[in-house]
Chain A
Amino acid sequence: MTDQHEHAAVSNRAHPEAPARSSGIAVIPTDAVANPGFPPERPRVTDLDPKVEKAQERRIIALFFVSIIGSIAAIVFYIVFPIIPGDMQSVRNNTMFVGAAIALALLAVGVGVVHWSKALMHGHDLVEERHETRGSEPTRERAAEIFTEANEESGFTRRRLLRNTLITAAVVSPLPGIVLLRDLAPIADPVPLLKHTMWAKGTRLTRDPSGTPIRAADVTLGSAFHVIPEGLNELEHGKLEEKAKAAVLLMRLKPEDLHVTPGRETWGFDGIVAYSKICTHVGCPVALYEQQTHHLLCPCHQSQFDITHEARVIFGPAKRALPQLPIAVDDEGYLVAQSDFTEPVGPSFWERVL
């Protein structure tokens, strides 16, 4: 851009004279702040001192050389630090050195180019005006003409039925796509799936992950067992879905520490209690059990449940106590469930009715 153009552009930016006539509605301010334009140009040291300019040029050249060295170093490092299968240290060395060298190469060239443009290139301020968005009068007239001609030729406004069926066809065409969205929802009604778990009368409590049954005598005071229902490991389909609902934490406390509400006296066994591991807030596994305070902490949002008071919420965003799994001991001394959970486990859902 020439200097002449530049000056013209700058003067263009100044406000035009206020119009002589007003429509009577708009208030046109007459004391508008004038565009101050650019501050006076301050020459850079590289403009004033040819020595500095030369030094800066050498610095930029050095940066480009660093970039070249970085690129070559990346290749060298790739050969010097090969990835040896099974050796994690070799993977670490390879990614680290090759990555650092490539980063150096790209960063040096980037910094060099920016520094070049800032220190050595033309330092004047320039203004480029935007193009006019409005087309010229003849162009606009011709465009309107094309519309009229097209209407006459096609009969879009004359042949009404033709036009309306076309619009209807266009409106109807996305409907199959909306119907296909149904496939994103579960095929079965999700509500029964959310309300029931694998636990049933007589299902043994087994260790996660081995699936071996747990005897009541195994659960010593202060113990915490991570429990899955018997038969979970043998499931062919939906093993993880079932585990996500049926996971249970089994703990043994002193029986006198437990505060049992009437009706739940038989749900535990000699201080052994089982609670759903799925948080009633948003379903994280609640398993951070403190055996002295008997608090259960959910790691996701810090909900705390008090096991001595039937896992009631004592802190955090959860609203309901963890559902308790009623347990008993079978003839062989193994812990079994008395029934499924008596309420849906996990977070609330729309159709949940207690």
Chain B
Amino acid sequence: MTNEQPKRRKRGRRHPLAMVALIALGLAGTGGAYALATVPAGAETTSAVSSDLVAQGEALFAANCATCHGLALEGTEDGPSLIGVGAASVDFQVGTGRMPLAMSGPQAEVKPVQFTTEQIRALAEYVASVSPGPAIPDEEYLTGEGADLAIGGELFRINCAMCHNVAGAGGALTEGKYAPPIMGVSAAHIYEAMLTGPQNMPVFNDDNISPEDKANVIAYLKYLETTPSVGGASLGSLGPVSEGLFVWIAALGLIVGITIWLTAKSN
């Protein structure tokens, strides 16, 4: 009975994932178009559609982002400069709902996405058009096809697991900051986070972890996400603290209850 629940939940999770994959596909297309547009030799290939997007992005930026980041992306007292952050950073920050920021705090929280896919694409195009930066990743690194899970797992444990937890469940950092869970995050957003190092996450550029290895890490995370815990309920995979708490409260409580019942007189 209880086993049916995680199954059903996963099937439920399939849905948003499929949608996110679709979004990622669209974004990757944008990234591809952008990459084409930024090839120095093909500078003249910038299409009319792209410049339309940039214009739309500029308008959106002026209306929604410029208060903190400045009209020319130069940054203000309230927000950092966005010069050189690239389309990948915009797609991550806006696409996960972290930006626009709801309020200042230890770190930007994930919240419902405030823009449509098309608008995020326009914003990314605009920011990238002002000064070049990391682009939205190609689809080939996001599908997990032909990826090496063992290498991905080793890289994850060396570079990521100390903050994001060995099962990708996230963990606490200093002074109210935290490493968010990576389960259920789209492949494109994971790739962009590694590439751009959002907020307090260090940057893992392509010289540190190559695009192929990033694809391996993503494939490993997706494997973790879709593989059920063999040992039964994973209790959020938070490690010994949550498991110990469960044992102390639930299991010991049960034992205490049984002991009381054993020694109580029957009426």
Binding site for B on A (CB under 8 A): 42, 44-46, 88-89, 91-93, 95-97, 114, 118-119, 123, 207-209, 214-215, 217-226, 251, 285, 287-293, 295, 297, 299, 304, 315
Contacts and interface: CB of A to CB of B under 8 A. Distances in A.
B232 A209 contact: no
Contacts of B104: none
Nearest to B205: A220
Contact of A89 (B202, B203, B228, B232): B228
B232 A95 contact: yes
B197 A288 contact: no
B173 A290 contact: yes
17 contacts: A46-B266, A92-B3, A97-B3, A207-B208, A222-B197, A223-B202, A223-B205, A224-B202, A224-B203, A224-B204, A226-B158, A251-B202, A291-B200, A291-B202, A291-B203, A297-B173, A297-B174
B207 interface: yes
Nearest to B157: A209
B153 to A, nearest CB: 11
Given A220-B203, A225-B208, A288 B173 contact: yes
A46 B159 CA distance: 67
A130 to B, nearest CB: 21
A118 B114 CA distance: 64
B108 to A, nearest CB: 12
Contact of B154 (A209, A215, A219, A299): A209
A91 B229 CA distance: 9
B199 interface: yes
B238 interface: no
Given A223-B205, A291-B203, A45 B267 contact: yes
A114 B262 contact: yes
Contacts of B202: 222-224, 251, 289, 291
Which of B155, B158, B177, B204 counts the most A-chain CB atoms under 10 A from its CB? Answer: B158
B252 interface: no
B163 interface: yes
B174 A290 contact: yes
A88 B228 contact: yes
Contacts of B174: 290, 293, 295, 297, 304, 315
A45 B267 CA distance: 6
Contacts of A97: 3
A92 B208 contact: no
Given A45-B267, A290-B173, 17 more contacts: A44-B267, A88-B228, A92-B232, A214-B207, A215-B207, A220-B203, A223-B202, A224-B203, A251-B202, A288-B162, A291-B201, A292-B200, A293-B174, A295-B174, A297-B173, A299-B162, A315-B174
Given A46-B266, A92-B229, A226 B159 contact: yes
A208 B200 CA distance: 22
Interface string B11-34: 000000000000000000000000
A290 B3 contact: no
A218 B208 CA distance: 7
A223 B3 contact: no
Query: Which are the 5 A-B pairs with shortest beta-carbon distances?
Result: A224-B202, A218-B207, A290-B200, A118-B266, A222-B203
A200 to B, nearest CB: 23
B216 to A, nearest CB: 12
A22 to B, nearest CB: 41
Given A221-B203, A291-B200, A92 B267 contact: no
A292 B232 CA distance: 39
Contacts of A91: 230
Nearest to B1: A100
B68 to A, nearest CB: 16
Interface string B69-85: 00000000000000000
A266 B183 CA distance: 42
Interface string B144-180: 0000000000110011001100000001011101010
Nearest to A302: B174
Given A46-B266, A290-B173, A88 B227 contact: yes
Given A44-B266, A225-B208, A299-B171, A208 B158 contact: yes
Contacts of B173: 288, 290, 297
Contacts of B155: 209
A353 B162 CA distance: 31
Nearest to B265: A118
Contacts of B261: 114
A73 B205 CA distance: 55
Contacts of B203: 220-224, 291
Contact of B232 (A44, A96, A222): A96
Contacts of A222: 197, 202-203
A45 B261 CA distance: 17
Nearest to A215: B207
A153 B152 CA distance: 80
A292 B3 contact: no
Interface string B240-267: 0000000000000000000001100111
Given A290-B177, A291-B197, A93 B3 contact: yes
